[in-house]
Amino acid sequence: MAMKLRTILAFVGATAIPGCSQGLYSLEPPLGFATVDDDWRSTRMKAADNVGMSMSVFDNVEGGSLTYWGTDMRRKLKDREYALVDTKRVVSRNGVAGTRYDFDYTAPGSDVPKFLVVVLFVTDDYRFVLQLAGHKELQEQYATRLPTTVADLRLSGCGRGSAICEGGEPKPRRAKR
């Protein structure tokens, strides 16, 4: 019941504010990106060279933690043949702990390598998934600017003294190449 009430309040608050996503998170388009879609649960942005960035918000569930959702996401992407290259701890502007995952990917039947960076945050109420993707040759140009975007994020859904919001994943690892 409390989760439903918080979701309803977040929806009402988000729809009352111009730039709907501002009710759940604050994300400004980085230099070179244009916002192509924005609603109360997601934002999609695109750069002129076809690199995409998106933020999606999902409800969290009882037992959902950064470790739980990170494991779930890594398994699903591995099943789709994404190769985990690196993980790093990150923190949002308002102190929510998260994890950055860097993946390499080449679609079946293609010889064009791509990159995917996923930054995952989990609060008591929500899961925030920030994604950056494009052609591999553009990765360094964009992925090196991502820490500034992450450091500027403000996320909602943390209760006072939340172990979920402050508890990052234990020992992120760097994959062997």
Q: Would you say residue 71 lies in a domain? A: yes
Q: Is residue 173 part of a domain?
A: no
The mean pLDDT value for 28-49 works out to 91
Q: Number of folded domains in the chain?
A: 1
Question: What's residue 1's pLDDT?
Answer: 42
Q: Is residue 176 part of a domain?
A: no
Task: Say what the pLDDT of residue 112 is.
Answer: 94
Share of the chain residues as helix, strand and coil, in percent rounded to the nearest 5: 30, 35, 35
The tens digit of pLDDT for each residue in 89-144 reads 999 988 899 999 999 999 889 999 999 999 999 998 899 999 999 999 999 999 88
Is residue 175 one of the residues assigned to a domain? no
Considering the entire predicted model, what is its pTM? 0.79
pLDDT of residue 53: 96
